[in-house]
């Protein structure tokens, strides 16, 4: 059972979400306001202190603090995920439809309001478990107690359960609108659920059902969070810092323009090159969603009001137009091997040619024994690199291999 998700536009129309006046949501032709009045003084925060890695000529990237575990993982058809997710949906359906419907028809108006609130609280509790489940799985992976495949299973379980919960909240709100004196706003709950429905997880879900959306994914975890990276046509990166989220503290931003100005400080290059950057506020969740379409791709980030730091970040970047910051070259066994590196340990490109003729060479590329793909017609391949130095092996059809040491320093 594969549930559909309501479009983003529907969520943007809900009353609890507000957008900076004079600034359009992503995709609009309207520009950001020329000036903004900031009424409250917010302490300047160095992006690096917030876990953001400052880089030049591209977007800053949310990174992990402390020791991290990093490895590649393959993800293919997985019946276990499908069955677990279906079970989650069935239990949500039981909560929403059986428990509620059994008593709703003959209930008084007051009783209906109480039933709606009880069901809302149950769904909210289920929603809150997703973040805790994710955090526990990430920390277990960082400690070596959980495999990368098991971690991805957990993230995909949350992905599908978030879809089911989203639909349940929608249905509950529709019922509430028909009951006198009942007013259940589910917008903030929907917004929190969206954080589990990311583009990388879309691709993983397709792969889990045998559609072969992605060949591999890079998984990096620490006590503080995780980073997922993969290459489809674009470079997809998803990062979360659990320690950058504090719901027990009131938001430090007096108004939405103030949050906009702060997010500009965190992502200056993206704001300078972006088209109609927008910041939207989710009041009860104390989150500010940043959306920027810029010249290298798209950025979506969630700024936490309590900490003033980025809690989650989603980046879609076009590898071919990312600036090259370093290059390594080797000439070995008749081959010329060149590795072009992009900022913040982003995607890298290896190009293999014949040393004498300059003709491109078809080869399989492995990194520390892991197959990351095959060079194309011009002898090149884009790939996601490990977090540290690594050995890159060129496996030729003739059976002769060439291995070179790549430094990420």
How remote is the C-alpha of 215 from its chain's centroid?
18
Q: What is the pTM of this model?
A: 0.84
Domain presence at residue 3: no
Is residue 257 domain-shared with residue 159, that is, in the same domain?
no
Is residue 84 domain-shared with residue 210, that is, in the same domain?
yes
Domain presence at residue 236: no
Is residue 304 domain-shared with residue 346, that is, in the same domain?
no
Q: What is the pLDDT of residues 108-160, one digit of tens each?
A: 999 999 989 988 998 888 898 999 999 999 999 999 999 998 999 899 989 98
Q: What is the pLDDT of residues 253-296, one digit of tens each?
A: 999 999 999 999 999 999 999 988 999 998 888 899 999 999 99
81-95, 220-234, 381-395: which has the minimum mean pLDDT? Answer: 81-95
Q: What is the pLDDT of residue 208?
A: 78
Instruction: Decide which of 272, 297, 321 is a domain's last residue.
Output: 321
C-alpha dihedral over 33, 39, 44, 49, to 10 degrees?
A: -80
Is residue 158 domain-shared with residue 252, that is, in the same domain?
no
Position 178 confidence tier, pLDDT thresholds 50, 70, 90: confident
Number of domains present in the structure of the chain: 3
Distance, in Å, from the CA atom of 112 to the CA atom of 103, rounded to the nearest integer, reads 8
Domain presence at residue 188: yes
| CATH code (residue 329) | 2.60.40
Is residue 247 domain-shared with residue 124, that is, in the same domain?
no
Residues near 200 by Cβ (< 8 Å), separated by ≥ 6? Answer: 217, 228, 230, 236, 237, 238
Burial 88-116 (b: 16+ CB within 10 A, else e): bbeebeebbeeebeeebeeeeeeebbebb
Sign of CA dihedral 191, 196, 202, 208: negative
Is residue 334 domain-shared with residue 280, that is, in the same domain?
no
Domain presence at residue 368: yes
Instruction: Decide which of 321, 353, 374 is a domain's last residue.
Output: 321
Distance, in Å, from the CA atom of 101 to the CA atom of 97, rounded to the nearest integer, reads 5
Q: Does the structure show a pLDDT above 90 at 388?
A: no
Please provide the distance, in angstroms rounded to a whole number, between the alpha carbons at the two ends of the chain. Answer: 47
* Three-state SS letters, the chain: CCCCCCCHHHHHCCCCEEECCCCCCCCCCCCCCCCCCCCCCCCCCCHHHHCEECCCCCCCEECCCCCCEEEEECCCCCHHHHHHHHHHHHHHHHHHHHHHHHHHCCCCHHHHHHHHHHHHHHHHHHHHHHHHHHHHHHHHHHCCCCCHHHHHHHHHHHHHHHHHHHHHHHHHHHHHHCCCCCCCCCHHHHHHHHCCCCHHHHHHHHHHCCCCCCCCEEEEEECCEEEEEEECCCEEEEEEEHHHCCCCCCCCCCCHHHHHHHHHHHCHHHHHHCEEEEEEEECCCCEEEEEEEECCEEEEEEEECCCCCEEEEEEEECHHHCCEEEEEEEEECCEEEEEEEEHHHCCEEEEEEECCCCCECCCEEEECCEEEEECCCCCEEEECCCCCCEEEEEECCCCCEEEEEECCC
Position 104 confidence tier, pLDDT thresholds 50, 70, 90: confident
Is residue 299 domain-shared with residue 331, that is, in the same domain?
no
Is residue 299 domain-shared with residue 336, that is, in the same domain?
no
Q: What is the pLDDT of residue 119?
A: 87
Q: Does the structure show a pLDDT above 60 at 378?
A: yes
Domain presence at residue 13: no
Domain holding 277, by residue range, is 41-65+243-321
Q: Does the structure show a pLDDT above 60 at 37?
A: no
Is residue 286 domain-shared with residue 346, that is, in the same domain?
no
Q: Does the structure show a pLDDT above 60 at 332?
A: yes
Is residue 142 domain-shared with residue 163, that is, in the same domain?
yes
Q: What is the pLDDT of residue 77?
A: 75
Instruction: Decide which of 214, 232, 258 is a domain's last residue.
Output: 214
Task: Kindly report the average pLDDT of the chain as a whole number.
Answer: 83
What is the total residue count of the chain? Answer: 409
Q: What is the pLDDT of residues 347-371, one digit of tens each?
A: 999 999 999 999 999 999 999 899 9
Is residue 192 domain-shared with residue 256, that is, in the same domain?
no
């Amino acid at each position: 059972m594969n549930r559909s998700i309501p479009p983003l536009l529907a969520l943007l129309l809900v009353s609890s979400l507000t957008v900076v006046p004079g600034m359009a949501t992503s995709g609009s032709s309207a520009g950001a306001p020329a000036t903004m009045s900031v009424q409250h003084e917010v302490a300047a925060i160095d992006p690096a202190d917030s876990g953001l890695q400052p880089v030049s000529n591209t977007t800053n990237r949310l990174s992990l603090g402390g020791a991290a575990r990093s490895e590649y993982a393959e993800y293919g058809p997985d019946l276990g995920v499908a069955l677990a997710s279906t079970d989650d949906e069935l239990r949500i359906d039981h909560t929403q439809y059986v428990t509620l419907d059994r008593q709703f028809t003959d209930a008084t108006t007051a009783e209906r309001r109480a039933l709606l609130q009880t069901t809302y609280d149950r769904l909210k509790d289920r929603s809150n478990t997703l973040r805790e489940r994710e955090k526990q799985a990430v920390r277990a992976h960082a400690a070596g107690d959980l495999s990368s495949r098991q971690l991805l299973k957990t993230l995909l379980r949350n992905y599908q359960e978030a879809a089911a919960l989203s639909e349940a909240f929608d249905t509950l709100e529709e019922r509430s609108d028909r009951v006198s004196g009942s007013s259940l706003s589910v917008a903030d709950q929907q917004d929190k659920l969206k954080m589990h429905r990311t583009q990388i997880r879309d691709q993983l879900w397709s792969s889990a059902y045998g559609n072969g959306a992605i060949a591999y994914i890079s998984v990096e975890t620490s006590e503080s969070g995780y980073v997922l990276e993969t290459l489809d046509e674009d470079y997809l990166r998803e990062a979360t810092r659990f320690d950058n989220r504090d719901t027990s503290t009131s938001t430090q931003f007096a108004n939405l323009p103030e949050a906009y100005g702060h997010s500009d400080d965190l992502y200056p290059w993206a704001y300078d090159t972006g088209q109609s950057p927008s910041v939207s506020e989710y009041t009860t969740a104390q989150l500010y969603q940043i959306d920027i379409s810029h010249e290298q791709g798209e950025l979506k980030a969630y700024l936490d009001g309590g900490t003033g730091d980025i809690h989650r970040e989603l980046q879609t970047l076009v590898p071919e137009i990312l600036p090259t910051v370093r290059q390594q070259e080797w000439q070995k066994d008749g081959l010329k091997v060149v590795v072009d590196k992009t900022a913040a340990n982003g995607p890298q490109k290896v190009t293999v040619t014949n040393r004498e003729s300059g003709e491109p060479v078809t080869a399989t590329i492995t990194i520390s024994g892991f197959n990351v793909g095959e060079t194309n017609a011009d002898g090149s391949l884009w790939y996601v690199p490990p977090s540290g130095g690594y050995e890159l092996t060129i496996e030729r059809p003739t059976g002769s291999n060439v291995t070179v040491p790549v430094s990420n320093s």
